[in-house]
Amino acid sequence: MLTERQRSRIRACCKDEQGFATIMEIIQAERKELERAKTDFFSEIGHELRTPLTTIQGTLSLLAREVPGPLPQRAREMVERAIENSIKLRDLINYFIDLQRLQSGSAELRLQPVDLYRLLDQALSNLRPFAARRQIRLILDEDSPRVRVEADPDRLAQVISNLLSNAIKFSPSNSTITVQIDRCGATGRFSISDQGPGIPPEIQQRLFRRFVKANTADQRQAGGSGLGLNICKAIVEGLDGRIWFTTAAGSGTTFHVELPAATPHPAPAPEQDEATP
């Protein structure tokens, strides 16, 4: 997208508004072509990387099941570590492709009314075993209003899963993660609050950029590619929503997601009996 300063410089080089409009059309067409080329490039690279990776994962799976024969304990541990890293690499490749499609506008979004409470409740159920292993409680405020937003349910579930997973990873044992839902005029909002260490001030302005991760020792141990929040932002903005956070050192972090409320469909008018002549 051109800045206002760039537009002013182009306008100054044009003799009239018609010339300016023509140049802007050419620039926009070139930009769209560049985005298509980038998307095709990432898709092709992704295919070239995933094909050998699938073969590697298949071979490692056979070794893990000891199909060729029994493995020493040390060898089994090495195979398990290799499988874990191959999964991380696969996810990283998928993240890159997904992010490029979202940012170029080529990702298809299936917009429909989505019940926030139901979607959040399902996500919490899926992640409770993971949280239980870290002795973390997941709570959905039962007094939250039932709000329906206009969104792609699969993409929104991806955002929720990312935010909840981050909250679990960065929360101390015996803590609680709370999820709340609110209706704010023409929008619906949900918030995910943890009791973790908070986000360091030096990275707060960059948190939604690619490869940015909290840089404390505890958070480095949590792992992650640094792409999850970047993708969350791309998805939410693609749904005409917004995402932000509030945080304080030692008091935890709350991520907020706000989306357009679903437009209620008017009830069909009751059929009237024809007047008897």
- pLDDT of 114: 97
Contact 245, 184 (CB under 8 A): no
Two tokens, residue 248: 């304080």
Convert the pLDDT of each residue in 163-177 to its tens digit: 999 999 999 999 999
- Residue ranges of domains in the chain, CATH in brackets: 11-104 (1.10.287), 112-260 (3.30.565.10)
- pLDDT for residue 215: 47
Q: Are 191 and 180 in contact (CB under 8 A)?
A: yes
pLDDT at 255: 97
Looking at residue 233, what is its pLDDT? 93
Q: What order do you get walking across the sheet with 187-193 strand by strand?
A: 136-140, 175-184, 187-193, 252-260, 242-248
Burial 147-181 (b: 16+ CB within 10 A, else e): bbbbbbbebbbbbbbbbbbbbbbbbeeebebbbbb
Q: What percent of the chain has pLDDT over 90?
A: 44
Cβ neighbours around 54 below 10 Å, total:
12
pLDDT in tens, 130-158: 999 999 999 999 888 999 999 999 999 99
For the segment 204-241, what is each residue's pLDDT rounded down to a tens digit? 999 988 777 664 544 445 556 677 898 999 999 999 99
Q: Express as a percent the part of the chain with pLDDT over 70.
A: 81
* Stated pTM of the model: 0.70
Q: What is the pLDDT of residue 217?
A: 47
DSSP H/E element including 247: strand 242-248
Q: Enumerate the β-bridge partners of residue 180.
A: 191
